[in-house]
Chain A
């Protein structure tokens, strides 16, 4: 219990550090943007010939690619090869909404057998998670790496199986009993949770990203079986005494570019348009 508490508090501390960073970075970028726009303004006003405009585009205007990124969690996929008690797969996807915001979702299936000291159980089912990622990483030039902080809502439908259990008897006068092999299946279980995640995605080859993410989860809805407990929830992972959970994934994904957006140029155009409308 003490350890769990220590662990949770340390995670909170960790996240607060990241949050602190997350707040710092945009401020700097804001300043940068301001200076960029300021320096650019006189240029756009003076520009009359198209030739000069093109030159300026190359030097300042940045093209952002928008599209769909789809991938798979390699950790879950490969774990099935060496862990006979585990089978799982998770597909990940995100859609770039704005410069920094991404709509993100994960869809998965897990089947995990857990051998505890006093009971052996298994959980299997599907889950879906949806939410957004905020990229707080300032890329150099045309790089497209991401360091994100995100939120998700998760939902899972699953069933649990109990293979065997031991009776806890603090006064074993009649002797300690072996585990009782009594199979039970608890189906139609559901659980819902919210999670905060930190992620890192690096473009290793053009359009191919390798990502790593950690999540802190909070169980908000949990339909428990009679005379048992949800010990493992697909997507949420192992449950603890409280309603906190943790998770991580290691993904490889492919980015499908759909359209491009010239961020700086459009901002300037917008400003000009608004100026023209005013008088």
Chain B
């Protein structure tokens, strides 16, 4: 009888201890970023690595910008509470010679949808891109010669959404 009661107590303690097992697993696919893959202008079938690039969001501090080096694919987070996100992409940003640097602006228009993930993770936002526009407000020539929206539905980071030729 005493044994039974103590076992029941153990059972209830076990119950309370497992309540906190609620952390969102980092491997769970949640809000995706927009994936851009760079291709060679001269040979469109070949991916081209960017030696060094910074992406600074509109209204954000340049120091906190995202930098990429030696990759042909980058991923940019979109604003989940807006339908427009603008990034200034500076090619050769690390160069000390000002004429080597070249900044183009990408404006992404999209709609959002909030999708349930789990109790621990909450919801995620997926995007449907309406358009990607490249502008050159600085007046230095454009370095991205072609910007192509390949996959307007951004629901994972496993595929390329935008192709850029330079």
A residues touching B (Cβ–Cβ < 8 Å)?
1, 3-4, 7, 10-11, 14, 17-18, 116-119, 147, 165-174, 177, 180, 198, 200, 212, 214, 227-229, 231, 246, 248
With A7-B14, A248-B12 as contacts: A119 and B7 at CB distance below 8 Å = no
Closest 4 CB pairs of A and B: A118-B122, A168-B30, A171-B77, A169-B31
Is B125 a contact of A169 with CB atoms below 8 Å?
Answer: yes
* CB-based contact A167/B14 at 8 Å: no
Other-chain residue from B25, B31, B75 in contact with A167 (beta carbon distance below 8 A)? B31
Interface centre among A117, A170, A212 (most CB of B within 10 A): A170
With the chains together, A4 CA to B15 CA distance in Å? 10
Question: How far is A65 from B18 in the complex, measured between Cα atoms in Å?
Answer: 42
The answer to whether B21 touches A1 (Cβ under 8 A) is yes
Contact between B120 and A117 (Cβ–Cβ < 8 Å)? yes
Q: Which residues of B contact A229 (CB under 8 A)?
A: 116, 118-119
A169 to chain B: which residues have CB within 8 Å? 30-31, 77, 80, 124-125
In contact, B30 and A170 (Cβ under 8 angstroms): yes
Residues 1-37 of B at the A interface (beta carbon under 8 Å): 4, 7-8, 10-12, 14-15, 17-18, 21-22, 24-26, 28, 30-31, 33
Known contacts A169-B30, A174-B77, A118 near B120 by CB under 8 Å: yes
Which residues does chain A contribute within 8 Å of B114, judged by CB atoms?
A: 165, 167, 180
**Interface size bucket, B side?**
35 or more
- On chain A, the residues within 8 Å of B142 by CB distance are none
Is the Cβ of B17 less than 8 Å from the Cβ of A3?
Answer: yes
Cβ-based interface call for B115 (8 A): yes
A119 touches B119 (CB 8 A): yes
CA distance A229 to B123 in the complex (A): 11
16 contacts between A and B (CB under 8 A): A4-B18, A14-B10, A116-B119, A117-B122, A118-B119, A118-B120, A165-B122, A166-B122, A168-B124, A171-B31, A172-B77, A173-B60, A174-B80, A174-B85, A248-B11, A248-B15
Q: Which residue of B lies closest to A178 (CB)?
A: B81
Report A169 CB to chain B, min CB distance, Å: 4
CA distance A3 to B124 in the complex (A): 26
Bound form: Cα–Cα A237–B33 in Å: 36
A228 to B121, CA, bound (A): 12
Contact A119 B77 (CB under 8 A): no
Chain A residues positioned under 8 Å from B15 (CB to CB): 7, 246, 248
Closest residue of B by beta carbon distance from A214: B11
Closest Cβ of chain B to A140, distance in Å, is 12
CB 8 Å contact bits of B58-88 with A (1 = contact, 0 = none): 0010001010000000010101110001000
Excluding A170-B31, A229-B118, 4 further A-B contacts by CB distance (< 8 Å) are A3-B17, A168-B122, A169-B30, A214-B8
Q: Which residue of B lies closest to A173 (CB)?
A: B77
Q: Kindly provide the distance from the CB of B4 to the nearest chain A CB, expressed in whole angstroms.
A: 7
CB < 8 Å: which of B12, B21, B33, B75 contacts A214?
A: B12
